[in-house]
Chains A and B, each alone.
Chain A
Amino acid sequence: MSEKKKNKVLLIGWDAADWKIIRPLLDSGQMPALQRLVENGVMGNIATLDPPLSPMLWTSIASGMTADRHGILGFAEPDPSTGKVRPVSVTSRKVKAVWNILMQNGYKTHVVGWWPGHPAEPLNGVTVSNFFAKNKKGPGSEMMLAEQAVHPPELSATLEKYRVNPGELTAAHLLPFVPGAAKVDQEKDKSLHAIANLVASGSSYHAVATWILENQDWDFLALYLNEIDVFCHTFMRFYPPQQAGIPDEQYALYNGVIDSAYRFHDMMLERLLELAGEDTTVILVSDHGFHSSEKRPVRLPDDPAAPVYEHSPYGIFCAMGPGIRKDERIYGATLLDIAPTILTIFGLPAGKDMSGRVLQGIFEKPSEIERIESWENISGDSGQHSGEMREDPWAAQEALQQLVELGYLEAPGEDQAEHAKRVTAESQFYLARVFISTNRAEQALPILEKLFAGWPSKLRFGLRLAQTYLRLKRIADARKVIDAVRRDEKVAAQLPSLDFIEGTLLMAEHKPRKALEMLRAAEAKQVRMPGLFLQMGQVYLRLRRWTDAERMFIRALNMDADNAQAHHGLAIASLRQEKTETAIDEALTAVGLLHHFPAAHYHLGEALIQAGDFENAAKAFSVCLSFSPGNRRAHLRLGQLYENQLNDPGKAKEHFEFAAKRIKGVVTVVSGLPRSGTSMIMQMLKAGGMEIVSDGNRSSDDHNPLGYYEDDRVKRLHTDNSWLGEAAGKVVKIVAPLVMNLPPGFQYQVIFAERDMNEVLVSQQRMLGKKEETAKQTFPVALSEAFGKQLEKTKAWFVTQPNVSVHYVRYADIIAQPEEEAENINDFLGGELDSAEMAAAVQVQLYRNRLSAP
C-alpha cells in the first residue's frame, strides 16, 4: 500500500438511507461510526430527483447530470443485440462519471457495486460491477461469478472469494435481525432467506472495498450498497409503530429488522473509516429517503415502479475530512451536487453541462473554481467502455426493429417484443418526468401526449399528462384528459390519485366547491399523496373557511413538518382569524425553510402589521419585493406603512407611484369566440352587480335578445387603448381574436367562455343569415380549424402573461347548472357579487343551435 496522499475521497452510497430512521439510533448510541462522521463533519438532507428510481439517481450522483443527459432511464432497457429486455447497463450511460474524470486527471480510481455498473468499466483501479454478488442459483448452491463483473479480469479469482454465499451464513448472522428466528416457519415464510441474501450481498461488496483499501493504491473509491433500500421495501411494514393489518406475531418477529440493518451498515462504516484514514474526505450519501411511520403507503398502485411510492424525497448527506467544516448542518443539497463537489475537492473544475452546484457550505475555506464547458470534450483515457460497447439501447432498438421489418433479422418472440415495447414506453415516461421536474414541462408534453395516445389504458400516463397541462395552464386540455380517464369508471374507481388530480384541476377551473368534494373523495380512499391536505387547505382558504383551512394545514404538517407551503397556508389561516402570533411564527417558519418564497414574506408583513410591528413589517414587504419586484400589493402596503406609521412620505410616494405605474387597476374581461356565450356572461355579471363598459351602439336583436354589451372601442384596441383606464373595476367584453391586444399595466381577470365548436359555427352562420337546417348541414371545416388555432394561440398567450388570470367556463355548464357556475365565477372575481341574481340572469330558452342535448 502506498503512502497516503491528500485529497483522497471515499464516496459511500447507502440506497434509501433516511435521517428519520437514523436519528433515534444515533440518539441511543447505536450508530457510533455515523455519529463520529456527523460530529466531525457536515450533515444534512439531500433532495432526490424525480422519478426516484435508483439507477437513474445513482447515475446523476456519479455524473452531476439529469437523466435526459446521462441516458439511464429506468431499471431495464432493450438489449441492442437481441431486442429483448435486459437490466440497465453502464454502457448506456452517455456521459462521464466523476471517476472517469478523475482517472483522466491521473488519479487512481476504484468503483465497487455502483448501479448501474455492469459490465465493469476498465478504470485504472479496480471495478466491481453490480452483478458481482448476484446469486444465480439461490441460497445454498454454488454461486457463479457473472462475466465482466470484475476489472481487471486477472483479479477475478482474488476477489471472487470475497463473495459471501447466503448459504454459509449462520444463526449468528441472522439472530441480530430476528431474535425470534427459531419461531419462523421457513417453508412458508422466506423472510430469513431474504435477510441472508441481503447480508451476503452487502458483505460481499464491503469485503471487496476493504480489500482495495488495504491492498491497492487509491485516490478515489466509490462503494454502493443497495441493501438498506431492499431491507426497507421488504420489512418497513413491520417497523414500529405497528400498522393496522400486521399480525402481532409477525410484528414481534420482524419489527427490529430495519434498525438492525442500519446497525450492520454502521459496523461496516466503522471499518471503512478506519481504513480510509484521517486524510481522506469521506462522503456518505443516499439517493432518497424511505417513508416510515404514518407515511407508509397503505397500498401500492398498479405500476411497474410502484415501490418508489415508498421513497421519501430527502436522503442523507454527510462529509468529513481535511478542510471540511465540523459539526455543521448544511441545507439545500441535491444529488446533482455530489459530482461537482468531489471535483472541487480534487481541485478540478466542474463542467458547465453539470446541473449541480458545488456544495461550498461544506468547506472551511470555500473556493470557486471556474467551470469548463464540458468534460465530455476532453480527450484521454477515462476508463469508459469503448465506443462500440457504449450504445444507445433505445436508438439501437429502433434500428433493430427496422432490420426485423426488412427481413434481415428474426423478430424477437411476441412476448419479448411486447415486453421491450413496454419498457421503452416506461423509459419515455420517466424521461417526461425528468423534464417536468426540471421545469421543462413543454418538453414533456409531446412525449406524454404520444404515450397516452398509444397506451390509453395506462392511466398514469393520462394523469401525468393532465398534470402537465395543468402546469402549463392548459386547463381545458387537462379537463379533456381527465374526462377520458374517467370514462372507464371501473378503472378510474381504482385510481384514488385521479380524485386528487381532478380536485387540483377543479381548483384551476375556479370551482372550489367541486374541488373540495373531489379532494374529500380522495381522502376517503386514503390517498397518501403529500399534497392532498395542502390542496384541501388551499380550497378552504379560497372559500374563506379559515378554521377548516387551519385544520388541513396542520394535518399536512403532521405528515411533513418541514413543508414550507403548509406553514405558509397555516400562517394565512391564522392571520385571517387574527391569531397574530401564530401567523407570525408560521410565516417565519415558512421563510426559514424556503427563503425564496415571496408570498410567505408578504403574509409575514401582514401579520406584523396586525401585531403593530410596523418596522419589521416594512422589512418583510421589502424582502418580498426583492424576490418579486412587481408585486403591487407589497408596494401598496409599503406605501401605506411609510405614509401612516413610519412617517416617510418620500418613500410612501415612491411605492404608491410604482404601484400606480405598474398596475393601473383591475379590469374584468369576458372573452371567447363570438357566439360562445360571452353576452350571456355579461348579463350575469351585470345582474350580479358589476358595472359594464358598453357604448350601447349595438342593440339587441333576435340573435341576442338581451343585448350584446359591446363597446366599439374594443375593435380599435390594437391602435388605441387609452380608454382602458375607464374599465378598471368594471367588466368589458373582448372577443378572443382581440384579447391579445390588451396592454400591460393592468391586472386582468378573464372569464373565457367555451362552447362546442360546431355549435359556435352554426350559430355564427345563422347570424349571417343562413337557415338553421342549412347551417347544420354545411360545416365550414377551414373556419373551424382557423378558430381552433385562434383559441390555442389565445390560451397560450394567457399562460405567458403574469398579469392575467383566467377562468374558463363552458357555455353548456352555465345552461345546465347556472347556480353553481355563477358561484364559481363569483369566487373567481373575489366573491363580492350576488350569485343568485347572476344565476337568475341565465335564460335556458336562449340556448339554441345546439347539436345535442346539453
Chain B
Amino acid sequence: MPNDKNNSSPGYQPGDTYHIPPEGSLALLALGARGLDLWRKKRAEAVKEKKENPSGPDERKEKE
C-alpha cells in the first residue's frame, strides 16, 4: 500500500509494509474501499487499545 509520504506514485512493491495512522489520511481515503477498511480497522484497534491501556501513548507507530 502506498503511504501518505509517497501517496502519488505507484512505486510500491508487494510485501512492502506501510504505516496506517489511526487518525487516517487523505492517502488512505484516496485508496478507496481498501484504504477505508484499513483505516477503520486500525482506528478500532487504537480505540480498543486505549480503553485497555488508558495510560499508554496516544499513538503508537506500527507496521502493517
Interface residues of A (CB under 8 A from B): 32-33, 162, 164, 169-173, 176, 199, 203, 206-211, 214, 264, 266-268, 270-271, 274-275
B31: A residues at CB distance < 8 A:
210, 271
Sample (13) of A-B pairs whose CB atoms are under 8 Å apart: A164-B36, A172-B25, A172-B26, A173-B26, A199-B26, A207-B29, A207-B33, A207-B36, A210-B33, A210-B34, A264-B30, A267-B8, A271-B31
Complex CA gap A271/B25 in Å reads: 15
Check if B10 sits within 8 Å of A206, measured CB to CB: no
B9: A residues at CB distance < 8 A:
32, 270
Q: Tell me, rounded to whole Å, the shortest Cβ–Cβ distance linking B45 to chain A.
A: 15
B23 on interface, CB distance cutoff 8 Å:
yes
Check if A172 sits within 8 Å of B23, measured CB to CB: yes
A208: B residues at CB distance < 8 A:
33
Check if A209 sits within 8 Å of B32, measured CB to CB: yes
Check if A211 sits within 8 Å of B25, measured CB to CB: no
A209: B residues at CB distance < 8 A:
32
Interface centre among A172, A208, A211 (most CB of B within 10 A): A172
Check if A172 sits within 8 Å of B24, measured CB to CB: yes
Cβ-closest chain A residue relative to B30 = A267
Q: Tell me, rounded to whole Å, the shortest Cβ–Cβ distance linking B55 to chain A.
A: 22
Complex CA gap A203/B36 in Å reads: 9
Among residues 2 to 31 in chain B, which have CB atoms less than 8 Å away from a CB atom of chain A?
7-10, 21, 23-27, 29-31
Check if B24 sits within 8 Å of A170, measured CB to CB: yes
Complex CA gap A206/B27 in Å reads: 12
Q: Tell me, rounded to whole Å, the shortest Cβ–Cβ distance linking A201 to chain B.
A: 11
Check if B33 sits within 8 Å of A214, measured CB to CB: yes
Q: Tell me, rounded to whole Å, the shortest Cβ–Cβ distance linking B5 to chain A.
A: 13
Complex CA gap A172/B36 in Å reads: 14
Check if A162 sits within 8 Å of B33, measured CB to CB: yes
Check if B29 sits within 8 Å of A173, measured CB to CB: yes
Interface centre among B25, B31, B34, B35 (most CB of A within 10 A): B31
Check if B32 sits within 8 Å of A169, measured CB to CB: no
Check if A267 sits within 8 Å of B23, measured CB to CB: no
Cβ-closest chain B residue relative to A170 = B23
Q: Tell me, rounded to whole Å, the shortest Cβ–Cβ distance linking B26 to chain A.
A: 6
- List of 3 A-B pairs having minimum Cβ-Cβ separation, nearest first: A210-B32, A267-B30, A211-B33
Q: Tell me, rounded to whole Å, the shortest Cβ–Cβ distance linking B2 to chain A.
A: 8
Which residue of A162, A169, A172, A206 is within 8 Å of B30 (Cβ)? A206
Check if B33 sits within 8 Å of A172, measured CB to CB: no
A271: B residues at CB distance < 8 A:
30-32
Complex CA gap A264/B30 in Å reads: 7
A172: B residues at CB distance < 8 A:
21, 23-26
Given A32-B9, A270-B10, A274-B10, decide whether A207 and B32 contact each other with a Cβ distance below 8 A: yes
Complex CA gap A266/B9 in Å reads: 11
Complex CA gap A32/B9 in Å reads: 8
Q: Tell me, rounded to whole Å, the shortest Cβ–Cβ distance linking B18 to chain A.
A: 14
Check if A33 sits within 8 Å of B33, measured CB to CB: no
Check if B32 sits within 8 Å of A211, measured CB to CB: yes
Check if B24 sits within 8 Å of A266, measured CB to CB: no
Check if B8 sits within 8 Å of A206, measured CB to CB: no
- Besides the known contacts A170-B23, A203-B36, 17 further A-B residue pairs in the complex with CB atoms under 8 A apart: A162-B33, A164-B36, A171-B23, A173-B25, A203-B30, A206-B30, A207-B35, A208-B33, A211-B32, A214-B33, A266-B8, A267-B8, A267-B27, A267-B30, A268-B32, A270-B7, A270-B30
Check if A267 sits within 8 Å of B32, measured CB to CB: no
Q: Tell me, rounded to whole Å, the shortest Cβ–Cβ distance linking B23 to chain A.
A: 4
Complex CA gap A199/B30 in Å reads: 10
Complex CA gap A173/B23 in Å reads: 9
Interface centre among B29, B31, B35 (most CB of A within 10 A): B29
A199: B residues at CB distance < 8 A:
26, 29
A173: B residues at CB distance < 8 A:
24-26, 29
B29: A residues at CB distance < 8 A:
164, 173, 199, 203, 206-207, 264, 268
Check if A264 sits within 8 Å of B32, measured CB to CB: no
B21: A residues at CB distance < 8 A:
172
Given A207-B33, A210-B31, decide whether A169 and B24 contact each other with a Cβ distance below 8 A: yes
Complex CA gap A271/B28 in Å reads: 10
B30: A residues at CB distance < 8 A:
203, 206, 264, 267-268, 270-271
Check if A267 sits within 8 Å of B26, measured CB to CB: yes
A275: B residues at CB distance < 8 A:
32
Check if A214 sits within 8 Å of B34, measured CB to CB: yes
Given A33-B8, A266-B8, A267-B30, decide whether A162 and B25 contact each other with a Cβ distance below 8 A: no
